[in-house]
Amino acid sequence: LAKTTQPISMDSYEGQEVNITCSHNNIATNDYITWYQQFPSQGPRFIIQGYKTKVTNEVASLFIPADRKSSTLSLPRVSLSDTAVYYCLVGRLMDSSYKLIFGSGTRLLVRP
């Protein structure tokens, strides 16, 4: 599975848009990009998944350039409750031995 690199931490203020970029230079053709969110003392929660271009759901957008060597998670108008660790993962869907490989994640702090 491709290794990912993302910033260790980010600061933002309420109401701002936050963009977290993840680098995955060795992504393979069949790999998907997935983002999870984790609050303290809770299990991670799936946010969004994509393969190429742009994916949007009710909580976030995921931008993936044509070369797919990076991706950007965009959180619109963050609130204090968005303070969490965000993980970028790359892996193959429906791999018979599929497993999620988490890095250290990006700690997002949203200030009032």
Contact 91, 33 (CB under 8 A): no
Number of shown-chain residues binding another protein (CB under 8 A): 26
Instruction: Give the gyration radius of the chain's Cα atoms.
Output: 14
Of 12, 16, 21, 49, which lies in the binding site for another protein, with binding defined by CB under 8 A? 49
| Least distance to another protein, CB of residue 65, Å | 20
Q: Which is nearer to another protein, 17 or 95 (CB)?
A: 95
Q: Cα 103 vs. chain centroid, distance in angstroms?
A: 11
Nearer to another protein, 47 or 78 (CB): 47
- Interface characters, 61-100, with another protein (x: CB under 8 A): ------------------------x-x-x-x-xxxxxxxx
Tell me the backbone φ, ψ of residue 80, rounded to 5 degrees: -55, -35
Which of 41, 67, 81, 112 touches another protein (CB under 8 A)? 41
Q: Which residues bind another protein (CB under 8 A)?
A: 32, 34, 41-46, 49, 85, 87, 89, 91, 93-105
